[in-house]
């Protein structure tokens, strides 16, 4: 029987996360193999299909190395440094063909899961692109990253994307952990507000902003909130990753808000820079 990271290891992954990583990588590989070519532009991006696929191949390899305990410096966590690191890596990695890239994406997803399975350390991975993370959070990061760029590929190739409510739920450990780190200091300056965010059919969490600092509370907030936002899970992830306009989601009925200050709902996404 093939062991998974959810069955063994120092710190098991949340149920379904290993399977979601494997299946998302396979979904992306299937998209690439269906493409007539990889030179197509990706909507809303400067990259082509081949460049997005190459970035995914490199990122999955990076995540597998980090999970295995190898040091791989990659920017300092700021959007500018990550963009520069992405550009440098694509310059030195020339592969743009669909089949080889599909194989690397799936192979490195498996390598990541194998590394999570075999590691004997309970401590955090110290130097991910977005700071120290426990391995289950790093796995959630890997899934989130693949879903964001998998969505880009699906749009470019005019195919259905692979994001659903279950996979969004598995992205939440990463999303909640990284929110304070990716808060926009200019947007949060002078703002004091407590949000309650509910994913329709899913989890609840609180986000408090005070004196420029952002605090995230998993679960139902203990204190009274100013604004409750109810949002479709897929819309939440796409807005958080900068792939969907919040106003469009509101117009389509995917976002509802109420509370003492419901007008603060549209401001919420602007408090963060997409990771």
CA distances from 119 to 3, 36, 135, 208 (A): 13, 40, 10, 35
> In total, how many domains does the chain have?
2
Positive or negative, the Cα torsion across 65, 68, 71, 73? positive
Phi and psi at residue 134, to the nearest 5°: -65, 155
Residue 63 pLDDT greater than 70, yes or no: yes
What 8-state DSSP symbol labels residue 46? Answer: S
Are both 24 and 154 inside the same structural domain?
A: yes
- Work out the average pLDDT over 244-266: 95
At 121 the pLDDT is 59
**20 strand-pairing partners:** none
Domain of 118, CATH number, reads 1.20.120.450
The answer to whether residues 207 and 106 belong to one domain is no
pLDDT-based confidence at 6, cuts 50/70/90? very low
Distance (Å, whole) CA 170 – CA 20: 8
213 shares its domain with 146? no
7 found inside a domain? no
Taking the C-alpha atoms of residue 236 and residue 242, their distance in angstroms, rounded to an integer, is 10
Predicted confidence at residue 271, as pLDDT, reads 96
Give which of 154, 119, 205 is closest to 43, Cα–Cα. 154
Q: Is residue 200 part of a domain?
A: yes
Does 5 fall in a domain? Answer: no
* Nearby residues of 22 by Cβ (< 8 Å), 6 or more positions away: 106, 109, 110, 113
In this model, does residue 46 exceed pLDDT 60? yes
Kindly tell me the burial class for residue 263, based on how many C-beta atoms sit within 10 Å of its own C-beta (0-12, 13-18, 19 or more): exposed
Task: Provide the domain limits for residue 267.
Answer: 185-271
pLDDT reading at 7 higher than 80: no
Strand order of the β-sheet with 213-218 is: 213-218, 204-210, 193-199, 227-231, 255-258
Q: Say yes or no: 44 and 116 in one domain.
A: yes
pTM confidence score: 0.93
**Same domain membership, residue 117 and residue 38:** yes
Does 9 reside within a domain? no
Angle of the 233-240 helix axis to the 165-178 helix axis, nearest 10? 40
Angstrom CA distances, 157 to 95, 152, 175, stand at 19, 9, 27
H or E stretch covering 166: helix 165-178
Residue pLDDT, tens place only, 110-162 = 999 999 988 755 678 888 999 999 999 999 999 999 999 999 999 999 999 99
Which carries the bigger pLDDT value, residue 100 or residue 78? 100
CATH number at residue 221: 3.30.1050.10
Domain assignment of residue 8, yes or no: no
- The string of pLDDT tens digits covering residues 162-190 is 999 999 999 999 999 999 999 999 999 99
Is residue 198 within 8 A of residue 231, CB to CB? The reply is yes
Q: What is the pLDDT of residues 96-122, one digit of tens each?
A: 999 999 999 999 999 999 999 887 556
Contact 161, 146 (CB under 8 A): no
């Amino acid at each position: 029987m093939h062991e998974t990271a959810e069955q063994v290891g120092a710190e098991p992954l949340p149920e379904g996360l290993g399977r979601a990583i494997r299946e998302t990588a396979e979904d992306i590989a299937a998209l690439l193999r269906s493409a007539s070519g990889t030179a197509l532009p990706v909507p809303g991006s400067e990259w082509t299909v081949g460049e997005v696929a190459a970035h995914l191949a490199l990122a999955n390899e990076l995540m597998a190395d980090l999970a295995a305990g190898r040091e791989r410096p990659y920017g300092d966590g700021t959007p500018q440094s990550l963009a520069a690191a992405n550009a440098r890596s694509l310059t030195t990695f020339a592969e743009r063909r669909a089949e080889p890239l599909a194989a690397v994406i799936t192979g490195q997803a498996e390598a990541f899961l194998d590394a999570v399975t075999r590691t004997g350390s309970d401590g955090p991975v110290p130097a991910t692109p977005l700071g120290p993370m426990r391995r289950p959070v790093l796995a959630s990061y890997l899934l989130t990253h693949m879903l964001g760029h998998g969505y880009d590929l699906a749009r470019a190739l005019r195919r259905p994307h692979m994001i659903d409510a279950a996979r969004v739920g598995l992205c939440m450990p990463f999303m909640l952990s990284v929110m304070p780190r990716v808060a926009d200091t200019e947007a949060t300056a002078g703002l004091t507000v407590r949000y309650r965010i509910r994913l329709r059919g899913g989890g609840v969490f609180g986000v408090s902003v005070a004196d420029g600092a952002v605090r995230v509370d998993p679960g139902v907030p203990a204190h009274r909130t100013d604004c409750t936002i109810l949002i479709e899970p897929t819309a939440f992830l796409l807005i958080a990753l900068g792939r969907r306009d919040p106003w469009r989601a509101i117009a389509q009925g995917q976002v509802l808000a109420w509370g003492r200050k419901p007008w603060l709902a549209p401001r919420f996404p602007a408090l963060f820079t997409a990771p």
